[in-house]
Amino acid sequence: MSHDWSESGEGKAEELREVLGIVADKVPSLLRGLRDIIYSPEAAENMAGAVSTFYKKLVDAGIPKEEAMDMAKGYMINLRELVTGSKGIDLGDLARRKRDKEED
């Protein structure tokens, strides 16, 4: 199997490199903006209300309190871990790698 390294192939590679560079620049700031919205005081109040309601409904339905508490904890999604990369993919790594490459 051979690769087509013709000028059009090189042009496509350069175009892809440019698009990925833009994505690496924009995605981290987009995620920071989403984080700021998700972790605002209003969002915290809404999440607390949702978790509280979920817990109360479970207890009212006859679920033991300890089990309902475990289920309520599981109900909460910690997006911070996803964004910061402590669990899942570190999306900010794209921008760091690009900056490191530019500094070399």
Q: 61-100, pLDDT tens digit by residue?
A: 999 999 999 988 887 765 445 444 555 555 556 556 666 7
Higher pLDDT, 95 or 22: 22
Mean predicted lDDT score pLDDT of the chain: 76
pLDDT confidence of residue 79: 44
Which of 51, 45, 49, 46 lies closest to 72, judged by CA? 51
CB contact at 8 A, 9 and 3: yes
pLDDT confidence of residue 84: 47
Range scoring the smallest mean pLDDT among 9-13, 31-35, 91-95: 91-95
pTM: 0.46
